[in-house]
Structure 1
Amino acid sequence: MTTDTAVSRIRAVRHRLAQEGPPWTRDRADDFPTVTVPERDGDVLRDLLIAEGVATVVEVGLAYGSSALAIGEALLAVGRPDPRHVVIDPFQDSVWRNVGWDQLCSAGLAPITRLIPDWSSVALARLVADGFVADAAFVDGSHRFHEVFVDFYFLRKIVRPGGLILIDDDRVPSVRAAARYYEQNLGWTPIPGAFTGGTLVVDGDDSAAEPVTRCNAFRLPDALSEPPFGDFQPFGPCGH
């Protein structure tokens, strides 16, 4: 199968998922559109990864598989040898009935994808211990502050210096606060306009606020370093 044919197959599965939804969803109102990364954001995610020339990507959270399909499309489109996509989701079987994994298989992405059915705090620590290195990460797992914070802690050790950390639901206060710590204290640099063209959401609970992009992107510093504890900077959403 040629690269163009493989990419076309993935795009067809992505578009069908966006238009028709998955064959099964949880018994919750509007669960698929609420949980899944919209197709337009997937397109932006794909294009960012292609521009980065990625060969290896780590993803936290699989659910219905929309972002994973976009990442897989990017990896094949870049065309580097031995592309690898590591996806971590402890609930893919028990909660999601493997619907996201089935989407990846139907798109022909199983050969380049490794699904780790474990908590991200455990799986990411194991990847660090194994010396695993990625070009980028996409984070869309638990939105609890302490769990997002731990995901970021390990991912800064996994993603190569100068690589990308891409975040869904960045404007959820718990997620934003966690990212803010790394921005304020560890040199993560926001990439302005990275998700222009993606979905817009209202920042936090302020209905009068100007809409912002649902996803956000950060570039890691060119070297991994640990600042002195005395240099700690407050990191709340509003700097407190």
Structure 2
Amino acid sequence: MPARTPEWYVISLRPRGEHAPMRRAAARAGASVIALSPSKLVLRQDDATRAALREALSASRVIFTSPVAVRAARSLQPLRARRGQGWFAVGAGTAAALRRAGIADVQAPARMDSEGLLSLPGLHDVHDRSIGFVTAPGGRGMLVPELQSRGARVLRADVYERQPVPPSPQAVARMAALRQPAVLALSSGEALQQILATLPAPALAGLRRARVVAASERLATLARENGFSRVALARSARPADLIAAACE
């Protein structure tokens, strides 16, 4: 007996191999996922990265920008909070990953984006303070310049990277043939730009018919600037929040 076709689809631009949480959240809402990955994650394991991470984790304040950054850092060394340090996460998912790694006291903003992080009191008076910034190249472009403008000395550790990959032929074919309602779950501006530059015209037309659920106001604006007319805002980049906003 053939599988029943879902009534609607979620288009996920997460890196290759990182779609499982989105699939689970979509399945609970009766949707299926089209995994349109424009990149894959590669954890860095070289000596220079280890040294940069050690320095970043010695700072008076430490910021992690994603759960993957936590995973990559843990693969290089244990995470241990020092007396007097402040640990910060861009969102709830990253904060949860840090707590699982043994960091009990983590601050994360209610508004789960760069602007929300910068509004936290612990990151206001940072003149002459060192701030460890554990992340990947690209993305979160406003954080480091803003912290530096506040007088902080930023110690950056890029512990993983996103390597561009072409979306799978199967996903491209599904996008070109898509006729059911679809929602684009948007949590990365870089991923959106890559996929818009990569998709062939028939698949791109299918993508542009989708409604966008964006993880932040910045991403919502980016979607509109790139021609998406139906854009809604989610509470965060977590799959459950993106799907909840899609269902509304």
Same fold (TM over 0.5): no
**Bigger CA radius of gyration:** 2
Higher relative contact order (CA 8 A, sep 6+): 2
Give the TM-score of the pair, scaled to structure 2: 0.38
Give the TM-score of the pair, scaled to structure 1: 0.39
